[in-house]
């Protein structure tokens, strides 16, 4: 009982800290946008500031420790379609700690969050209303525009967070973009974030180590269909996800 109350207090304090820092940092984001938008068309400086803003919550919250593996695999001059598994809202903060330039593809509701959502608008991140065909078309168009202009795009091809950590099927949108434009896919594996903040929870759940692993880029082979490319990427990522490894072990044991 005491631990539960303590964890709830910690979560409340973190939410208050997020609110306070957002009030202080959003005006800075506006100033950066106003002073750079004319010559920084891709909004690289504003995105770097947003990476700092998001990373701040990881840095000042010691129970969440992030370990990144494979940074050298990222070519800062290369444009990517970035994809990863999705376990928790913490994934968003964690991926900003990479400090690489990209445009998020994010559900439209997040853009309505005061200050943080408004900053997403400033960054020209990409809104998506799930299940809305017109919104999906606009998403594809916006992604193509950013990719052609040299900005990577980051998508969660599962579409939503996993409750168990075991991966959902991948939607093919990211892979359609990669094939159509001939842009490499950068697969990223996230482990541990589910334990930090599980889906449908904003409570604190104790000390958590989140591991982020950047895998080797995947070139959109002409001989692979979009479906095959999608499945290949999912298999490469799932081979590194702890819950998927455990699932395969249980299945193998059951089949003996």
Q: Residue 126 forms beta bridges with which residues?
A: 105
Mean of per-residue pLDDT scores for the chain: 88
Taking only the tens place, the pLDDT of each residue in 127-144 is: 988 777 888 889 999 999
- Tell me the domain boundaries of the chain: 2-254
For 85-102, what is the mean pLDDT?
91
Residue 237 near residue 85, CB atoms below 8 Å: yes
**Which span out of 14-23, 149-158, 205-214 was modeled with the highest average pLDDT?**
149-158
Q: CA-CA-CA-CA torsion for 164, 166, 169, 171, nearest 10 degrees?
A: 80
| Digit-coded pLDDT (tens) for 183-209 | 999 999 999 888 766 555 555 555 778
pLDDT tens digit string along 223-255?
A: 889 999 999 999 999 999 988 888 887 877 777
**What mean pLDDT comes out for the span 70-97?**
92
Band (pLDDT 50/70/90 cuts) for residue 54 is very high
Mean pLDDT of 155-173: 86
pLDDT for residue 243? 86
What confidence score (pLDDT) does residue 198 get? Answer: 55
Q: For the segment 8-39, what is each residue's pLDDT rounded down to a tens digit? A: 776 777 789 899 999 999 999 999 999 999 99
Better pLDDT: 222 or 47? 47
CATH code assigned to 2-254: 3.40.1130
For the whole prediction, is pTM greater than 0.85? yes
């Amino acid at each position: 009982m005491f631990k539960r109350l303590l964890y709830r207090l910690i979560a409340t304090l973190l939410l208050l800290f997020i609110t306070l820092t957002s009030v202080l940092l959003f005006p800075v984001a506006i100033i950066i946008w106003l002073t750079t938008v004319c010559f920084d068309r891709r909004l690289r400086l504003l995105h770097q500031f947003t990476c700092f803003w998001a990373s701040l919550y990881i840095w000042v919250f010691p129970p969440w420790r992030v370990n990144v593996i494979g940074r050298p695999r990222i070519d800062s001059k290369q444009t990517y379609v970035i994809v990863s598994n999705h376990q928790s809202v913490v994934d968003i903060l964690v991926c900003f700690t990479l400090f690489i330039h990209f445009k998020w593809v994010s559900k439209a509701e997040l853009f309505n969050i005061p200050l943080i959502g408004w900053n997403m608008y400033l960054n020209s991140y990409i809104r998506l209303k799930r299940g809305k065909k017109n919104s999906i078309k606009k998403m594809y168009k916006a992604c193509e525009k950013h990719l052609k202009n040299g900005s990577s795009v980051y998508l969660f091809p599962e579409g939503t967070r996993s409750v168990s950590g075991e991966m959902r099927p991948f939607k093919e949108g990211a892979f359609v973009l990669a094939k159509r434009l001939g842009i490499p896919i950068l697969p990223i594996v996230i482990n541990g974030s589910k334990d930090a903040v599980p889906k449908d929870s904003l409570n604190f759940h104790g000390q958590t180590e989140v591991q982020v692993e950047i895998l080797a880029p995947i070139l959109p082979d002409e001989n692979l269909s979009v479906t095959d490319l999608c499945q290949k990427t999912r298999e490469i990522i799932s081979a590194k996800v702890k819950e998927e490894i455990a699932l395969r072990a249980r299945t193998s044991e059951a089949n003996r």
